[in-house]
Amino acid sequence: MQDAVTNLIKNYDVTGRYFDRNAVDSLKSYFESGTARIQAAAAINANAAALVKGAAIKLFEELPELIRPGGNAYTTRRYAACLRDMDYYLRYATYALVAGSMDVLDERVLQGLRETYNSLGVPIAPTVAGIQIMKDMVKEQVESAGISDTSFVDEPFDYMSKELSETDI
Ligand SMILES: CCC1=C(C)/C(=C/C2=NC(=C\c3[nH]c(/C=C4\NC(=O)[C@H](C)[C@H]4CC)c(C)c3CCC(=O)O)/C(CCC(=O)O)=C2C)NC1=O
């Protein structure tokens, strides 16, 4: 598992280089955005349960067939599994935000996930819709915590959405 700094060190160490201008610039931007990233994580943590629940309710309002007989989130067990998955996405997104790297998502969340979903019939597009709803709610939460530019919050949610959606070649 890597963060922005260890990623950079690894890349430079491979070729035995000192940090150059590019490296210094990316280190600067990582540390300058550090406070905002930590504040965002704190705002998410304090509201995680409500964010997950609110996003799920909205998803099921938009796609009510998911929780009707024949839907993948129908039955208490599968409904709970769906909310638990949403909770995983939120928690790991905060790790990735703090790390300034999507590495943790590849390693802990996305590996083999599409195959698992396909074999269980968990529909990908509605899952991605759920992740996007959660992203928007998280951004509102982060904004109300006093952070005006919330664009950096998009990255982990968009990354998971993109990786999940990608079809096998
Ligand atoms: C930390 C990384 C991690 C992830 C991401 C993860 C996901 C994950 N979700 C699963 C199931 C599931 N995931 C869902 C999710 C949904 N169904 C829908 O219709 C909605 C679109 C969606 C919620 C938004 C459901 C319903 C199941 C149960 C499917 C079944 O057993 O039939 C399973 C199969 C095993 C199980 O049921 O626990 C895994 C591995 N597990 C992990 O360890």
pLDDT digits over 83-121, tens only?
999 999 999 999 999 999 999 999 999 999 999 999 999
Residue of 53, 59, 72, 119 to mutate, ligand 1, most atoms within 8 A of C-beta: 72
User: 19-29 burial, b for 16+ CB within 10 Å, e for fewer?
Assistant: eeeeeeebeee
Q: What is the CATH number of domain 34-165?
A: 1.10.490.20
- For residue 166, the model assigns a pLDDT of 83
Any ligand 1 atom below 6 A from CB of 156: no
Cα(14) to ligand 1 centroid in Å equals 38
pLDDT digits over 121-169, tens only? 999 999 999 999 999 999 999 999 999 999 999 999 999 999 999 865 4
Give per-residue pLDDT as tens, 13-52: 999 999 999 999 999 999 999 999 999 999 999 999 999 9
Is the minimum distance from the CB of 116 to ligand 1 under 6 angstroms? yes
* Domain ranges within the chain, ordered by starting residue: 1-32, 34-165
